Chain A
Amino acid sequence: MTYVPPIRDINFVLDHVADVDDLLTRPPFTDVDRETLDFMIEEVGRFMAEVIAPTNVDGDKIGATWSVGDDGYGRVTVPESFTSAYKQFVASGFGAVPFDPEFGGGGFPWIAAIAIQELMTSANMAFALCPLLTQGAIDAIHHHGTDDQKALYLPKMLTGEWTGTMNLTEPHAGSDVGALTSKAEPVGDGSFKISGQKIFITFGEHEMAENIIHLVLARTPGSPPGTKGISMFLVPKYLANEDGSPGQRNDVSCVSIEHKLGIHGSPTCVLAFGENDGAIGWPLGDEGAGMRNMFTMMNNARLSVGLQGLALTERAYQQALGYAQERVQGTAVGAEKGAKSPIIDHANVRRMLMTQRSWIDAMRCLLYENAAALDRTVGGGDDAEAQQEWADLLIPLSKGLCTDVVNEMTSLAIQIHGGMGFVEETGVAQYYRDARIAAIYEGTNGIQAADLVGRKLPMRGGAVVLEKLDAAAALAAELTGVAPLGDFGPRLTEATAAARRATEWLLEHGMTNPNNALAGSTPYLRMLGVVICGSLLGTLAKATLDADDDADFLAAKQASARFFGEQILPTVGALEAQVTAGADLLFALSAEQLA
């Protein structure tokens, strides 16, 4: 199934929601001109559609395979088409766009990387995970590495010639990263011997790149228990020679890979460190600061996983739309007597397509606004602190909401296909399977909800959230009575009021008994997420009223915003009761009684 990059839709959000023109007047982005940014996004779209998208089915059907290499270490083989596409990706240089020019980067804002990632992930999510993890490792080395480490690793990682991994998870340490037990023993020359087993490591082994730089969380001798005793280490697959080229094999072995529901092209590895002569690693950042340092990249990583939700919804929608136009079944209301109709003419199918379409617009607004807020914190402008609060609040919404919604939207794409959707040959089932992981990794959505009520809601005693709800209410009032938007304004007013009541309830009852807040955290994330999406779509819809653009395009944006307002915002009302019910009923049955 071909993929058509939604360049125009991306541009519209860049213009009217994320306000990129404003962003580019702020340091350090003043050298980036808008025309070049637009041109780049367009060329990236073509590259992803023509080079990366055709490899998506290979990833699913052939997948990654494991074997033992000649050197005795575990080997992972990805489909041949991945290897050649990756070579082209390295040649393209698109992996370097948002990074420090000192190391070969383009110095573009993060939002540019987000656009590239959306396009790459829609094209092939499993493939896109490799550059995504590399990006996270680059970020970590850039923030916490010594000058020597930066000079040695960053240039090759920016080009993609070397890739990166993140090693947190262990069999007994998943959501509870603090429980990890991997060890790091000092050798005496500044290096450490790393030992332990990591599981679920994305692209932990492969041969698309000449080296893999593992970032590993481990404990040094005598360190305190819990997260305070965790340090971060840089462990290359091949130790660097004097001249920086990859030399001796380090003692890191992929002992197996997982068989998974989706993203078959992305190897999920069990990595054994130091089973033989010891894996050599170097500290990245201060001893004991491993967790804290990990958090500096967390925002970007969570945003990117949220983006997977948008990217797969977009891809699944494109395919479902194509199918709905071609599949003929039944006679739709209004069709000529006796004529058979394409299923797109049935109201029920339209509902599914409109739901997907309006969620795509909503998610794109949310994610790109989140990226823009992160970018606005960088230059230290007057509003940097406010932008940081805004970005921090948006992160669990971007991650949690978009990766929940994608399960529903890819499921609708299957539904639109009927029985053919359940059959693998149509390819639409792949999006559904691939999407499922996004709600789990990078902090499960349960953890996102806990982050929202436990860390983000309490910011300034709840004022950050309440101010945003005030702004949403003001916009809702402004859009009330604006004819092309139907009842968008009134519905946003109601939804905002419901979210405010729920927020106040949590502020009052959650602080005294945290389980009250945690019990309602998941519906609250949904509720606040939908309302914030509604207000961002309000901004988008407002822009359509006087934007200088193609009339059909603007009308389509209005219809989709209006659909979100009239059909999705009202669902928020039902969530209020869930948020404010408290924890008692959840625990009414004992663990034994549940059996």
Chain B
Amino acid sequence: MKVVVCVKQIPDPADPGALDPETKTLKRDMKLILDESDSYGVEMALQLVDAAGEGEVTLVSMAPNNERSGLSTALAMGAASATLVSDPALQGSDSLTTAKVLAAAIKDQSPDLVIAGSESSDGYTGTVPEQIAGVLDLPSVTAAKSITVDGSSIKVQRQTDAGHDDVECPMPCVVSVTAGVVEPRYPSFKGIMAAKSKPVDEKTAADLGFDADAVGWAGAGQEIVDVAEAPQREAGEIVEDDGEAYTRIVGFLEELKII
């Protein structure tokens, strides 16, 4: 079983840096780490390959400056190899371009399954996995909380507000994974030592058949026109209990349509 996991490398959320006022995007010229929301996909993929008893997990990432720190973490967790697409021309790519580039990198590998996170922790567009499926003309399942392989198809529990839906989907397909649904393993010392000799195939936009003016800022169909500070959280309401406070709480919960 061959599983490709799309992983994003992002600025450390503990020290996220700043927005570039000119481009209105996050500065990403520092060391990047594996997006936590992708670590769940890596873990799920490793478990699926383990359960299948054969195959491998490979990674695909698009990142500036040939950055591979985050890839190293995923390789140390157990992925076998990675494709890293890095090219100054790709700077400013919107989510559709990103999806096209990743799809091109995935295509060569003919995987049985493509896994991605539902949304990245730094950009939150939440549309790349479905667009990859569109570009590759593959079925797409979103918001997976568990995946099991059943012959040539997969069974997925899709998270919903009420609980989950059971979905079946033929392979190959693209599945996006909800954050927090599995416990990602920590790289072991052995994994860390092994990671340094795992192949990372570096590719440019041109290697994947893209013209520089079809990607990046030039090719973006989307433009960020404005950014604004998030509004301050409003002060909460403090209810003093005079013996009747529960009625206020019940009223409040009714207002929220929780009860």
Contact = CB atoms under 8 A, between A and B. Distances in A.
Contacts of B189: 40, 92-94, 96-97, 106
A411 B190 CA distance: 40
Nearest to B189: A93
B140 interface: no
Contact of B14 (A4, A40, A97): A4
A46 B14 CA distance: 12
B27 interface: no
Given A43-B73, A43-B76, A92 B14 contact: no
Contacts of B73: 43
A587 interface: no
Contacts of A88: 186
A261 to B, nearest CB: 33
B72 A39 contact: yes
Interface string A80-110: 0000000010011110110000000010000
A590 interface: no
Interface in A564-583: none
Interface residue tally of chain A, by bracket?
A: 10 to 19
Contacts, number: 37
A467 B3 CA distance: 62
Interface of A is mostly: helix
Interface in B172-224: 186-190, 192-193, 195-196
A43 B190 contact: no
Contact of B193 (A4, A36, A46, A47): A36
A35 B76 CA distance: 14
Given A39-B72, A43-B73, A43-B76, A92 B196 contact: no
A40 B195 CA distance: 11
A576 B187 CA distance: 51
A253 to B, nearest CB: 35
B192 A47 contact: no
B193 A51 contact: no
Interface residues of B, number: 14
Interface string A39-61: 11001001100110000000000
A9 interface: no
Contacts of A106: 189, 193
A252 B225 CA distance: 74
Interface string A1-20: 00010000000000000000
Contact of A43 (B14, B192, B196): B192
Which of A39, A50, A88, A97 has the most chain B CB within a 10 Å cutoff?
A: A39
A37 to B, nearest CB: 10
A426 to B, nearest CB: 22
B186 A43 contact: yes
Interface in B130-159: none
Contacts of A4: 14
Contacts of B14: 4
Given A4-B14, A33-B196, A106-B193, A93 B188 contact: yes
A96 B189 CA distance: 8
Contacts of B196: 33, 35-36, 39
A420 to B, nearest CB: 22
Interface of A: 4, 33, 35-36, 39-40, 43, 46-47, 50-51, 88, 91-94, 96-97, 106
Given A39-B195, A43-B192, A46-B186, 5 more contacts: A33-B196, A36-B192, A39-B72, A51-B186, A106-B193
